[in-house]
Copies of this chain bind each other. A is one copy, B any other.
Amino acid sequence: MSTFNIAIAGLGTVGTGVIRLLQSNADFIIARTGRRIIVKAVSARDKKKKRDCDMTGCDWFDDPRQLAQLPGVDAVVELIGGAEGIAREVALSALKSGKNFVTANKALLAAHGAELARLAESTKIQLSFEASVAGGIPIIKGIREAMAANRINSVRGILNGTCNYILTRMQAGKLSFNDALQEAQRHGYAEADPAADIDGHDTARKVAILAALAFGAEPDFASVEVEGIRNIAPLDLHFADELQHRIKLLGVARLTEAGLEQYVGPCLVPQTSPLAGVDGALNAVQVKGDFSGDLFFEGQGAGAEPTASAVVADLIDLARGHFSPAFGIPAAQLKKLKAVKAGSGQMACWYMRLQVVDKPGVVADISAILRDEAISIESLLQHGRSQTESVPVVITTHAASAEVMRRAIGKMARLPTIIGQPCLLQIEN
């Protein structure tokens, strides 16, 4: 039987998961590819660390850059992480040596995807990265192959399990943001330093990769507008519920006549949207094709096993001899799309929450500002009254541009009856 030999750089949870999967499901994989996938070599920082997998027969290398030079290795699998440094060096050395390169590294792809795709094309080998976005969900293959007949208009998704877990717990358990974050950390859904997740940067990398694939463009991570979930209050989740919506951290990429919009931010989605039902640490992606219509994919977005499933799916494609351009079209044809502000091409509806002193005339002041900016009110919610304390007022609007909304919010923040910073969230229908 012919073999397909790989070398793995990085033996954290995903790396050991890949080895366990290849052993545990070896019989299936042989049946499905006609080949045996063999881990010939591995590299990691600490040779002595105890790992939950059997590495009998794998050669050990202290320097992962050596893996690309090994004769008889068909693909290098990089599971180190990081846009620069060692991961990038492994990628460059593998691609330059004509080794297929499989990675779960979203930072690397978002920052250097176009360069790596060009390099892969020049040596006629494959750059695969199914595991870099949404863990076990086959969204890369979904866009690159399953939807290849379509003009894609937008891609949006819940791409960070940490944020989705926190928002779900804030909603269901009525927890504060900090309590929900601590619970997520206790359960292993959030890192000790959670900034990359909760501030939206992790999602932004995935948006850049999905946009590149969907629109045949170079990944443009620098242009993604990013807002995290730190400012979401339990109050907002409850008002959203009253409005038959859920608040989700969405990553959105949309191509309009104005240009490419890419943004990450907490948004209201209608409870009837499949995105609204995605709870806990799950991920989901919705892609709009001109012929397929909306396609929705949901599954586990992280974890050793789901991510290993995606990495090995890439390896099986290689073992079957499937080659596709990394971002769906030849690297030389990848466009540099004009980045535009979110909301430039298509106006959105908005949710805003203001904390107001409960005095006569406050709502009149707020509505006068909206009238002056020609913003049309869809609904206004105010519950409870208090002579001494402030009360929240929630307004949802009909379609308005982000610019106009921000100007209106700025004016409101200067009213003496408004306390603190208003909360402004887009409604993603």
Residues in chain A within 8 A of chain B (CB atoms): 17, 21, 24-25, 28-29, 31-34, 130, 136-138, 141-142, 145-151, 216, 272, 274, 277-279, 289-300, 303, 305-306, 308-310, 312-313, 315-317, 320-325, 328-330, 333
CA–CA, A148 to B315, complex, Å? 10
By the criterion CB–CB under 8 Å, are B293 and A150 in contact? no
Interchain nearest-CB distance for A77 vs B (Å): 13
Q: Which of A138, A147, A320 has the most CB of B within 10 A?
A: A138
Residues of B within 8 A of A32 (CB): 148, 325, 328-329
Interchain nearest-CB distance for A306 vs B (Å): 5
Jot down 11 A-B pairs with beta carbons below 8 A, ordered by A. A21-B149, A29-B148, A32-B328, A136-B295, A145-B145, A147-B313, A149-B309, A274-B277, A292-B299, A293-B299, A296-B297
Residues of B within 8 A of A17 (CB): 291
Q: Which partner residue on chain B sits nearest A297 by CB separation?
A: B297
By the criterion CB–CB under 8 Å, are A324 and B320 in contact? yes
Q: Which partner residue on chain B sits nearest A333 by CB separation?
A: B31
Interchain nearest-CB distance for A142 vs B (Å): 6
CA–CA, A14 to B295, complex, Å? 19
By the criterion CB–CB under 8 Å, are A136 and B291 in contact? yes
By the criterion CB–CB under 8 Å, are A141 and B146 in contact? yes
Q: Which of A29, A141, A145, A320 has the most CB of B within 10 A?
A: A145
> SS class of chain A's interface: helix, strand, loop or mixed?
mixed
By the criterion CB–CB under 8 Å, are A305 and B328 in contact? no
Name the contact of A141 in the complex, choosing from B29, B145, B308 (C-beta under 8 A). Answer: B145
CA–CA, A121 to B325, complex, Å? 27
By the criterion CB–CB under 8 Å, are A317 and B145 in contact? yes
Question: A21-B291, A141-B146 given as contacts; is B306 within 8 A of A31 (CB)?
Answer: no
CA–CA, A130 to B291, complex, Å? 15
Name the contact of A309 in the complex, choosing from B291, B298, B323, B329 (C-beta under 8 A). Answer: B291
CA–CA, A274 to B216, complex, Å? 31
CA–CA, A303 to B291, complex, Å? 10
Given A291-B312, A296-B296: 20 more A-B contacts, CB < 8 Å = A28-B216, A29-B148, A32-B148, A32-B329, A136-B292, A138-B147, A145-B317, A146-B313, A148-B312, A148-B316, A149-B312, A150-B309, A272-B279, A274-B274, A292-B309, A293-B299, A293-B300, A295-B297, A296-B299, A322-B324
Interchain nearest-CB distance for A213 vs B (Å): 11
CA–CA, A316 to B148, complex, Å? 7
